[in-house]
Structure 1
Amino acid sequence: MSLKKNATVTPQLPNYVFEQLIGQGTCGYVYKAIRIGEFKSREIVAVKCIRKEGLSKAAVENLITEITILKEVKSEYIVELKHFEYDKHFIYLIFEFCSGGDLSRLIKRNKRIPESLVQHFLQQIAVALKVLRKHNISHMDLKPQNILMSSVPSNRSFDIQLKLADFGFAQYLKSDQIGNSLRGSPLYMAPEILLSRKYDANVDLWSIGIIMYECLFGNAPFASSSLEELIEKIKNEAIVLPTTVKISGACKNLILRLLEKNPEKRITFEEFFCHPFVDLEHMPCKESYERGVSLVQKAVENDKCGKAREALEDYVNGLQYLIPIYNWSDKSKEHSRKLKKKIVQYLNRGEELKNVLNISGLTSEEMILLDDAYECVAEADLSCESGYFNEALEKYEKSLSVFISLLRKLKGKDKEMFREEVNELMSKAEKCSLLSKDPSSGNTLSKKQNSSRKVMRNIVPKKKTVSDTLSPTCYVQ
């Protein structure tokens, strides 16, 4: 037990074993502890121990507000207050334990956080803020040190759950209500708090902007050695985004709107929640998965009915939900591998449909014929993968006859683009023909096939794929 030695009184709680000091402040300490429950069950928790001695009236009021708020609001992205107790010397707040530490550690360790991960984190913070605004609560002290991580990020998965913590400065503040007390950490305080001490709930949005800036660029925009220097910088210096780090247009737009010094011009909560970079609509979660699955199922049905345009739209919309879920999943898990296989299948089919819709000079009957041929190719691919080479060869040849007859009708760029499709199909047919005679020749032919495809790519410009219709942060990683 590594408790603070110079403390005159040691924090102690019945049924709790204090293991490690993980944080401390002016009013007390935070320990990692084990709660011994019924039947000797053990639960790891974090215990915030606040000294009663010398606690000011304002500190007592803040503590009461923190307990009230955390008992009132519930969200997977807000740290859970499990219980609170007190004795002669301390008030104890028992929280869920977050083993990943806080966001500031991740920033220090990585220097900068990739934009895609910043977006992933921002979505979680936005959900937490939505819950707070529903109850007219402002956090007032948002900063990386007060954003906890449920677990330690690993190379396999960055699907880390963030938790807003430390509601000691939080207050009930409606959107149009004005506050006038100095609350928060100066580096993350909105200008109106520092300069005029008159503010509304939108001050939390400025803090989010500073956190976002620090994540992307490695340091806060107005980093200063004193409060006086900080105030001077906020008064006189404009927000400048470093050009050394490339960020998307949507990301740049959001950060500049969050860091608008004039609170009347700053982005509102409603605009923040709907911003395309935050993109709460496609946030990885159970609801997004169900929505994505529903859309691709609809796409498959439209595909079967020959409704190429409707099918393509549904494939694209469905993938916008499914790809982020895969990107932030644990790639070592079987369900993740299965999801990737499905995503690749839908992407490929979407590309085929897009090629079909982009081809001009064909009648509606010929377009249906071409769509059927693509479907036949997909069936042939499956047969080839399953080892039914003769069956696959028959389907490839059937499709080729349609492709070649239509190729003769096309002209210009459409013909050049379609010729690559024919060449790829001929390579597949050749591979199946050889494999049907000698299965061991598969590896050798694969190299030849890849070589011929590289040559074709040099001759024919790369086609725009269905992936190009997705947002930059939605590609399969």
Structure 2
Amino acid sequence: MPVASQTLEPNSYQLLDEIGRGRFGTIFRCFSPADDSFAACKVIDKRRLSDATDRQCLVNESKLMTLLSPHPHILRILDARETDDCLSLVLELCEPDTLYDRILSRKALPEPEAAGCMAQLLRALAHCHRLSVVHRDVKPENILFDSRDVLKPADFGSGAWLREGGAVEGIVGTPYYVAPEVLMGREYGEEVDVWSAGVVMYVMIVGSPPFWGESASEVFEAVLRGNLRFPARACRAVSAAAKDLLRKMICRDVSRRISAEQALRHPWILSGGETVDLPDLKGSCISQKHKETVTVESCV
């Protein structure tokens, strides 16, 4: 892939070390001499885009991020440059470790810490949904933290605007986190992000995904069944309030699945993951293999 210095104007952004790599592009740390600041530059090789869907992903990412900014829990886009061969997106620089890395290194997170992460993620999704944007690929690998440890979802390449009536279509997402209605090939709405966020929460506090399989097809079958379980050994320390929120978010019946705004008002979120009394309730390690997910229809 060509070095991205060809895509950025001299004395504008200077590319430094590589800090990430995606399906079509590479992410570099970059420096702006104009204001003595660092950023991240996502450089996409346009020659590797195989079809119109891939190209549309690139167009959507910059437009969606511009629409959603500024917001404290949305990664800021600072600039965009394009040549015949490359598209370069200059983004807010975050820490190298993602939420996935944090879970992997610690097996699972304490509920207060997980609740803090979920509150920030839900605020970001609620903001997206108010603007009729659905992310469609919410997963720990796409969740970053800035230098102040503020959580920010990234990678809006699979994102889309909801059409009038609040629907979109297309099989997009990552097996462990994709909602069942996406796999069914139906039109769907912002509820798919809530399902995915619920799976992220489950992984944070349990240490493994709720729907498992040895292959992508087996995972899809488990997701389609949507049978949410809390194995006694892995979940003995999980609070009743956390399980209640998970049941409301990872709910196969879309009409009964709560929204991001409603999830923000759940007692588990409001209490910061502390023990709360819910009298009306119904009655482990994340592996490297889990990271090697197969994106159903990945973009950048």
Please state which band the TM-score falls in when normalised by the shorter chain.
Answer: 0.7 to 0.9
User: Could you tell me how far apart the structure 2 residues matched to 1:262 and 1:169 are?
Assistant: 23
Structure with bigger gyration radius: 1
Q: Does 1:472 align with 2:275?
A: yes
> Any conservation in 2 of the 1:79–1:96 contact (CA below 8 Å)?
yes
How is 1:73-88 mapped onto 2 (pairs within 5 angstroms)?
A: 73=68, 74-88=70-84
Alpha-carbon offset, residue 175 of structure 1? 9.0
Q: Deviations over 1:367-390 (max 9, x none)?
A: xxxxxxxxxxxxxxxxxxxxxxxx
User: Could you tell me how far apart the structure 2 residues matched to 1:206 and 1:67 are?
Assistant: 25
SS in 2 for 1:182: coil
Q: Does 1:59 align with 2:54?
A: yes
Residue 291 (structure 2) aligns with: none
Q: Does 1:35 align with 2:32?
A: yes
Q: Does 1:177 align with 2:177?
A: no
Q: Does 1:253 align with 2:244?
A: yes
User: Could you tell me how far apart the structure 1 residues matched to 2:208 and 2:96 are?
Assistant: 21
> Any conservation in 1 of the 2:61–2:159 contact (CA below 8 Å)?
yes
Q: Does 1:166 align with 2:175?
A: no
Higher helix share: 1
Q: Deviations over 1:261-311 (max 9, x none)?
A: 1212222344223212222xx78xxxxxxxxxxxxxxxxxxxxxxxxxxxx
> Any conservation in 2 of the 1:31–1:47 contact (CA below 8 Å)?
yes
* Partner residue of 2:94 out of 85, 95, 98: 98
Alpha-carbon offset, residue 229 of structure 1? 0.9
* Partner residue of 2:210 out of 202, 221, 226: 221
SS in 1 for 2:155: coil
Q: Does 1:232 align with 2:221?
A: yes
User: Could you tell me how far apart the structure 2 residues matched to 1:225 and 1:176 are?
Assistant: 37
Q: Deviations over 1:112-149 (max 9, x none)?
A: 00000010111111211221122111111100011101
Alpha-carbon offset, residue 176 of structure 1? 4.5
How is 1:118-133 mapped onto 2 (pairs within 5 angstroms)?
A: 118-133=114-129
Residue 20 (structure 2) aligns with: 23
Amino acid at match of 1:11: A
**Considering only aligned residues, what root-mean-square deviation do their CA atoms show, in Å?**
2.1
> Any conservation in 2 of the 1:34–1:42 contact (CA below 8 Å)?
yes
> Any conservation in 1 of the 2:80–2:90 contact (CA below 8 Å)?
yes
Amino acid at match of 2:15: F
User: Could you tell me how far apart the structure 1 residues matched to 2:77 and 2:176 are?
Assistant: 27
Distance 1:175 1:125, change over 3 A: farther
Higher strand share: 2
User: Could you tell me how far apart the structure 1 residues matched to 2:78 and 2:3 are?
Assistant: 22
Distance 1:175 1:160, change over 3 A: farther
SS in 1 for 2:59: helix
Amino acid at match of 2:223: I
Distance 1:175 1:265, change over 3 A: farther
TM-score, with normalisation over the residues of structure 1?
A: 0.53
Residue 137 (structure 1) aligns with: 133
Amino acid at match of 1:53: R
Distance 1:21 1:147, change over 3 A: same
Q: Does 1:11 align with 2:7?
A: no
Amino acid at match of 2:4: P
Q: Does 1:268 align with 2:259?
A: yes
> Any conservation in 1 of the 2:170–2:185 contact (CA below 8 Å)?
no
> Any conservation in 2 of the 1:102–1:149 contact (CA below 8 Å)?
yes
Amino acid at match of 1:60: R
Q: Does 1:49 align with 2:43?
A: yes
Equivalenced residue count is: 268
User: Could you tell me how far apart the structure 2 residues matched to 1:135 and 1:255 are?
Assistant: 25
TM-score, with normalisation over the residues of structure 2?
A: 0.83
User: Could you tell me how far apart the structure 2 residues matched to 1:50 and 1:239 are?
Assistant: 38
Alpha-carbon offset, residue 100 of structure 1? 4.4
How is 1:356-371 mapped onto 2 (pairs within 5 angstroms)?
A: none
Residue 431 (structure 1) aligns with: none
Of structures 1 and 2, the one with the larger relative CO (CA 8 A, separation 6+) is: 2
Distance 1:175 1:113, change over 3 A: farther
